[in-house]
Amino acid sequence: MNLILRQKAESMAKVHQPTLKKESLSDLIYLLDKSLKRYGYLQKHGAPDTLLDAEKNLFCSRLLTLRLELKK
């Protein structure tokens, strides 16, 4: 019985693994630009710090992804 449950769990884990999506450089630059503009807008209008931190993390993540893509 445990063998059957383990096999089901393994097969479900394989199904739910997200696939990596390759984004083009123009898409990455576009998203980076949108994130930067959104951060400026949020900062200008006095958004809470947690929201600013989340947007900053998103911006940094996109910037890192772009840098890695350019190094290839």
Domain boundaries, the chain: 18-71
Comparing CA positions, the residue from 60, 37, 9, 38 lying closest to residue 68 is 60
User: 43 vs 11, which has greater pLDDT?
Assistant: 43
**pLDDT class of 34 with cuts at 50, 70, 90:** very high
Nearest to 30 by CA among 66, 71, 64: 66
CA dist., res. 41 & res. 48, Å (int): 12
Please give the pLDDT value at position 9.
58
**33 or 18, which is more confident:** 33
- Look at residue 69 in the predicted model and tell me its pLDDT: 84
* pLDDT surpassing 70 at residue 66: yes
